[in-house]
Amino acid sequence: MTADQNSQPNTAEPADSVDRYVVVGNPISHSRSPAIHAAFARQTGEAVQYDRLEAPLDAFADTMREFLAGGGHGFNVTVPFKLEAYDLADRLTPRAEAAGAVNTMWIEDGLIHGDNTDGIGLVRDIQDNLDVLLEDKRILVLGAGGAAMGAMLPLIECRPARIVVANRTASRASDMVEEFVEAADQYNVELWAGGLDALDALSEDERCDVVINASSSSLQGEVPPVPEHLLGEGVLAYDMMYGAQPTVFLAYAAKCGARTADGLGMLVEQAAEAFYNWRGVRPSTAPVLAELRAALQAEAAR
């Protein structure tokens, strides 16, 4: 994957039979999405060209309309444009509406469609790749920002017993949970929200089966203040971030005795859902995830 990170977008004019897609962000040179979607295209035989596109910070909508007007079929959206992508869409999927952000867009019937595949990517990684079924489980979500918002509806649809949202600012967690009360009632899921400091009051008997770090703490090299007794044996600690080395949260969770997993599988699974939206074909993710994992391990060994 190092070659993917260092490569430049292919600027050659594609053949008419090849459909064009891009991942748009700013910055974008680090994105692994072109390698992932190239692997999906080879695997499925779909005629797809997928590149990176860096949009100016003040011209996202104009840039993407120009791309679509020039024959582009769809695109992925990463930071900092997911909220602007939500506003750009003519039609939104229910999970995009719930997340308030969009990471996948395409043209259909002359309209721009928007979806958010992050949450379903998380769920599929946990349930299919890590073999942890979420039904009747107790889930702790750390953070109440965009990543957590995108995960909530797909998590609720798995029918866990309880979802606890803990955020540095307790009111932000409460506000977010309020957005999902109706969905939680529909799936008989108990919701609770509070500050990170409230986790100290949870006993070992009240600990959750799955702890998901959806905060930006790993990007900042900070460990969320989760008490050790909430991360013991039998708990899956999941960080949406990933890298060549375990994140600081995962290193801490492992010392506490928890099973750990990073967000690389989520990255691949959300890409597979985007590919399905675009092509109507669902690629196999296991070989692509294994390829990416091997590349990360090679980077770590350097």
Binding residues: 31-33, 78, 103, 118, 143-147, 167-172, 240, 242, 263, 270
Q: Strand 104-108 vs strand 74-77: parallel, antiparallel, or unpaired? A: antiparallel
- How far apart CA 124 and CA 128 sit, in angstroms, is 5
Binding residues for NADP(+): 143-147, 167-172, 240, 263
* Lookup result for tokens 């995962």: 250
- How far apart CA 298 and CA 62 sit, in angstroms, is 39
- How far apart CA 268 and CA 263 sit, in angstroms, is 9
- How far apart CA 223 and CA 228 sit, in angstroms, is 12
Query: Burial level of 300, CB count in 10 A (0-12/13-18/19+)?
Result: exposed
Sheet holding 74-77, edge to edge: 48-54, 19-25, 74-77, 104-108, 111-115, 91-92
255 counts as catalytic? no
Q: What angle do CA 41, 44, 45 make, to 5 degrees?
A: 70
- How far apart CA 98 and CA 94 sit, in angstroms, is 6
Binding residues for shikimate: 31-33, 78, 103, 118, 242, 270
Catalytic residue among 52, 73, 82, 113: 82
Quick check: 193 and 180 in contact, CB under 8 A? no
Half-sphere exposure of 252 (CA within 13 A, CB side): 20
Q: Strand 111-115 vs strand 91-92: parallel, antiparallel, or unpaired? A: parallel
Per-residue tokens: 169: 């600012």
Amino acid at position 60, single letter: F
Q: Which are the catalytic amino acids?
A: 82
